[in-house]
């Protein structure tokens, strides 16, 4: 019996429920692997070539359509089986503007139409792939687009946003509200003159915007954009195509592609790089997915009893360790980096993926540009179907150079643990969380002054380099920080919460890790107490741009912190040994005060002996320092890194309650 029939028997008897060899089944690891080019559609004016990797198929067809939805196929082409499980066909003539689907027959059953695994252009709602010349989608000036200069990952300041949240408010003054083009408009402002859109980002000073999922996802009906619809986009449908609801015309395949490129180009011209949130760990559903309608069972992990594994908490988990899923992920990331000039990737539930796949993605992106960033969540919703030592878990990050992970230790030590919004931590003056704070301030690397555990739970120095730790206190997931402070301190005044917000921002932006800000936190954004707002209306999710006027003081303070960090490499040393050698934690009068000194002037900084003190307590704190004269640049909720806020002499720094003090020599 040949390999083809062994594979087919495996599919017919078990639907591919395990990657191990059980009961005579052919393991998924023995499926043929495509070694050559893997392009499902190659267009030229004279002909279009189609190919599909479907090693278990008995037959494969390509169906051609005039439109992206509705109507019947005007022709059907039978594909021929080639090497390595690839099926091929060619259609003569100029098919530019037509649409196509594949249909695969397995076990005498036609699985149903699919745009394929690697469609790069689709019609409305992504059910049919489109035939077009990708070069024709480039906006004017695209060939001159360049990534903004960046020396090291430690230089980054990330700003996470959702397309719709950031621009949908009518006060924003943005024409293309909720669209890709909102980030390409220039000179937008509120009626009070406050900058919005790309002008706001430039004013804030961030180096990277991190976009929530922007590929084609399943839950927004692109034919009904007259009806308000909302989703974060963690329900992938077509991984290599921009989401149509963020374009001005989802029916035209070229429009969403061109407008996405216009957005990237505008951000690049503003000096801002673009990170894309990618969700390779699961699909919107397994049943009926492009994966399952092409090679049933192969792209997903299963439990021992044959059921779909669910480490994502979304009904399925993909199998990154399998050769063609690994190749799919690598080539998808490279497609976004090359075709769309994307500058970085945030991997959703990265710990579902295996270490080797993540390292190969890093290596492939290095060949394009080694400054392309990779970061992700170093955890999963449930235990994945691989041993821990093979998974891209947070604790294994040191084994993946050039890849970062979010520090929930730092987050929880600042604001309180996930799952109980009433409980605070360091920011609200509680003791027992200083070690978690120190852990994050040191960038998560082994440091002789950071203890093994704290009230927030055991600590592990998992980062090999400080740029492998993402320091943050809130993100799209869970309560934004203003709402968390309101839940934790319901009786606190607005001024008190603003002071604590400033204190938290100081900790994040003074960390040796990569600082990360959730969009709107800099203007005291509220989601009105809704944590998991993935499908909440605009009234919950939209950034209220009037807040920029109401909380201008907080915004200016955040701008000052970012400017200080960018100007002074002492805050971003970028090397574990340098951090251990120069960053020294100081004795403080209580556990709700943390202070550190960056001794000397590492990295050639013009500031020497930078000292940062964070006082979360309700009383003034005295922190002892070496005798000397110090210039104050941050005090009592004010910051001026250029001119300073005065001088202090002696060996004691007086730090006001609920505030940060930053001085240097």
- CATH code at position 606: 2.60.40.1180
Per-residue confidence at 418, pLDDT binned at 50, 70, 90?
confident
| 229 belongs to a structural domain | no
Do the domain assignments include residue 3? no
Among the listed ranges 32-36, 113-117, 125-129, 152-156, which one has the minimum average pLDDT value?
A: 32-36
Report whether pLDDT(19) > 50.
Answer: no
Average pLDDT value for residue range 400-429: 95
Report which DSSP code applies to 351.
G
> Which of 137, 166, 193 is the C-terminal boundary of a domain?
137
Checking if the pLDDT of 31 tops 50, the result is yes
Higher model confidence: residue 26 or residue 134? 134
CA distance 234 to 228: 18
pLDDT at 286: 96
pLDDT at 262 over 70: yes
- Run of H or E residues at 468: none
Q: How far apart are CA 541 and CA 231, in angstroms?
A: 10
Q: Side-chain half-sphere of 27: how many Cα atoms within 13 Å? A: 8
Band (pLDDT 50/70/90 cuts) for residue 452 is low
pLDDT score of 18: 39
Chosen domain end from 106, 121, 137:
137
Nearest to residue 460, comparing CAs of 440, 475, 489? Answer: 440
Q: What is the pLDDT of residue 4?
A: 54
For residue 77, the SS3 value is strand
Using alpha carbons only, what angle is made at residue 638 by residues 636 and 641, rounded to the nearest 5 degrees?
125
What's the CA gap between 139 and 261, in Å, rounded? 7
Q: For residue 262, what are the CA distances in angstroms to 181, 228, 232? A: 7, 25, 22
Q: Poorest-confidence range of 284-293, 325-334, 452-461, 526-535? A: 452-461
Chosen domain end from 79, 109, 137: 137
Q: Which residues contact 565 (CB under 8 A, 6 or more apart)?
A: 157, 509, 510, 515, 571, 572
What does the pLDDT read at residue 267? 98
648 within a domain of the structure (yes/no):
yes
Q: Average of pLDDT values for 7-28?
A: 49
Answer yes or no: is pLDDT of 7 > 60.
Answer: no
The answer to whether the beta carbons of residues 522 and 159 sit under 8 Å apart is: no
The whole-number pLDDT of residue 451 equals 84
Q: Specify the pLDDT at position 512.
A: 98
Average pLDDT over residues 248-257: 98
Q: What is the pLDDT of residues 292-344, one digit of tens each?
A: 999 999 999 999 999 999 999 999 999 999 999 999 999 999 999 999 999 99
pLDDT band, residue 23 (cuts 50/70/90) = very low
- Tell me what pLDDT residue 13 has: 46
Q: How far apart are CA 598 and CA 606, in angstroms?
A: 12
User: Which CATH number characterizes residue 53's domain?
Assistant: 2.60.40.10
pLDDT digits (tens, 9 = 90+) for 644-653: 999 999 999 9
Active-site residue, from 155, 321, 348, 591:
348
Structure confidence at residue 16 (pLDDT): 41
Q: Which of 340-344, 455-459, 653-657 has the lowest mean pLDDT?
A: 455-459
Kindly report, residue by residue over 181-203, the tens digit of the pLDDT: 999 999 999 999 999 999 999 99
* Confidence (pLDDT) at 20: 37
Q: Tell me the pLDDT tens digit for each residue of 468-507.
A: 999 999 999 999 999 999 999 999 999 999 999 999 999 9
pLDDT in tens, 564-623: 999 999 999 999 999 999 999 999 999 999 999 999 999 899 999 999 999 999 999 999
With H, G, I as helix, E, B as strand and everything else as coil, classify residue 646.
coil
Q: Would you state the pLDDT for residue 591?
A: 94
248: buried, middle or exposed (CB in 10 Å: 19+, 13-18, 0-12)?
Answer: middle
Q: How many angstroms separate the Cα of 218 from the Cα of each of 199, 235, 244, 476, 637?
A: 31, 6, 10, 19, 44
Residue keyed to tokens 């060939």 = 143
* Residue 612: inside a domain: yes
Residue 652 lies in a domain: yes
User: Are the C-beta atoms of 321 and 299 separated by less than 8 Å?
Assistant: no
Active-site residue identified among 377, 521, 522, 575: 377
Give the DSSP per-residue string, 173-199.
--SSTTSGGGGT--S-B-TT--B-HHH
State the total domains in the chain. 2
In a domain, 97, yes or no: yes
Q: What is the pLDDT of residue 228?
A: 87
Residue 335 lies in a domain: no
Mean residue pLDDT of the chain comes to 94
Helix axes 434-441, 408-415, angle to 10 degrees: 140
Res 70: pLDDT? 95
Average pLDDT over residues 513-537: 97
Q: How far, CA to CA in Å, does 278 sit from each of 119, 336, 345, 375?
A: 16, 10, 7, 10
> Of 62 and 3, which is predicted with more confidence?
62
Does this model's pTM top 0.85? My answer is yes
Question: Is 377 an active-site residue?
Answer: yes
- Higher pLDDT: 353 or 460? It is 353
For residue 655, tell me if it sits in a domain.
Answer: yes
Proportion of the chain above pLDDT 70, given as a percent: 95
Q: Has residue 457 got a pLDDT over 80?
A: no
In this prediction, what percent of the chain has a pLDDT beyond 90? 93
- Average the pLDDT over 369-384 and give the result: 97
pLDDT of residue 458: 67
Q: What is the extent of the structural domain holding 645?
A: 582-664
Q: What pLDDT score does 22 carry?
A: 29
Is 420 catalytic? The answer is: no
pLDDT value of position 14: 42
């Amino acid at each position: 019996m040949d390999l083809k029939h062994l594979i087919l028997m495996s599919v017919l008897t078990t639907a591919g429920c395990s990657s191990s060899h059980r009961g005579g089944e052919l393991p998924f690891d023995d499926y043929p692997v495509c070694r050559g080019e893997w392009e499902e559609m190659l267009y030229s004016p004279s002909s279009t070539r189609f190919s599909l990797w479907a090693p278990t198929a008995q037959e494969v067809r390509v169906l051609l359509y005039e439109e992206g939805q509705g109507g019947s196929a005007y022709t059907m082409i039978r594909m021929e089986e080639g090497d390595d499980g690839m099926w091929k066909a060619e259609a003569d003539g100029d098919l530019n503007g037509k649409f196509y689907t594949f249909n695969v027959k397995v076990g005498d059953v036609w699985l149903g139409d699919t745009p394929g695994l690697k469609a790069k252009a689709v019609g409305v709602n992504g059910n049919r792939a489109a035939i077009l010349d990708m070069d024709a989608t480039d906006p004017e000036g695209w060939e001159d687009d360049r990534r903004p200069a960046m020396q090291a990952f430690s230089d980054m300041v990330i700003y996470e946003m959702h397309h719709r949240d950031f621009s949908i408010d009518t006060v924003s003054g943005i024409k293309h509200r909720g669209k890709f083009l909102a980030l390409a408009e220039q000179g937008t402002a509120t009626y009070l003159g406050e900058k919005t859109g790309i002008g706001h980002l430039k004013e804030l000073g961030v180096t990277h915007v991190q976009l929530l999922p922007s590929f084609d996802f399943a839950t927004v009906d692109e034919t009904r954009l007259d009806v308000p619809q909302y989703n974060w986009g963690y329900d992938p449908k077509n991984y290599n195509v921009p989401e149509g609801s963020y374009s001005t015309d989802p029916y035209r395949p070229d429009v969403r592609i061109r407008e996405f490129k216009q957005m990237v180009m505008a951000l690049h011209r503003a000096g801002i790089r673009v990170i894309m949130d990618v969700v390779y760990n699961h699909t919107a559903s397994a049943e009926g997915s492009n994966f399952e309608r092409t090679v049933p069972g192969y792209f997903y992990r299963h439990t021992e009893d044959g059921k779909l594994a669910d480490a994502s908490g979304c009904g399925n988990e993909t199998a990154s360790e399998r050769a063609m899923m690994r190749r799919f992920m690598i080539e998808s990331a490279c497609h976004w980096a090359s075709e769309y000039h994307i500058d970085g990737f945030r991997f959703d539930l990265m710990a579902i993926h295996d270490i080797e796949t993540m390292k190969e993605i890093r290596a492939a992106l290095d060949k394009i540009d080694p400054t392309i960033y990779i970061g992700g969540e170093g955890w999963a919703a449930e235990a994945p179907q691989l041993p821990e030592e093979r998974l891209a878990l947070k604790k294994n990050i040191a084994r993946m150079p050039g890849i970062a992970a979010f520090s929930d230790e730092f987050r929880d030590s600042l604001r309180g643990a996930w799952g109980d919004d009433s409980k605070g931590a360091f920011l609200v003056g509680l003791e027992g969380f200083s070690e978690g704070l120190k852990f994050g301030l040191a960038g998560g690397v082994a440091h002789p002054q950071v203890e093994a555990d704290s009230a927030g739970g055991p600590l592990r120095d998992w980062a090999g380099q400080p740029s492998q730790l993402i320091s943050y206190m809130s993100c799209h997931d869970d309560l934004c920080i203003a709402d968390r402070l309101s839940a934790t301190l319901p009786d606190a005044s607005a001024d008190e919460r603003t002071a604590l917000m400033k204190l938290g921002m100081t900790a994040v932006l003074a960390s040796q890790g990569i600082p990360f800000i959730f969009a709107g936190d800099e203007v005291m954004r509220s989601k009105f107490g809704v944590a998991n707002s993935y499908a909440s209306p605009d009234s919950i999710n939209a950034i209220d741009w009037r807040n920029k006027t109401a909380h201008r003081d907080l915004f200016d303070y955040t701008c000052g912190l970012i400017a200080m960090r960018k100007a002074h490499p002492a805050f971003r040393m970028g090397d574990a040994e340098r951090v251990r050698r120069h960053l020294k934690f100081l004795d403080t009068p209580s556990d709700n005060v943390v202070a550190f000194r960056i001794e000397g002037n590492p990295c050639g900084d013009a500031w020497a002996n930078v000292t940062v003190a964070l006082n979360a307590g309700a009383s003034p704190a005295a922190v002892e320092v070496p005798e000397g004269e110090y210039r104050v640049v941050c005090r009592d909720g004010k910051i001026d890194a250029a001119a300073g806020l005065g001088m202090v002499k002696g060996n004691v720094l007086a730090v006001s309650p609920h505030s940060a003090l930053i001085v240097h020599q």
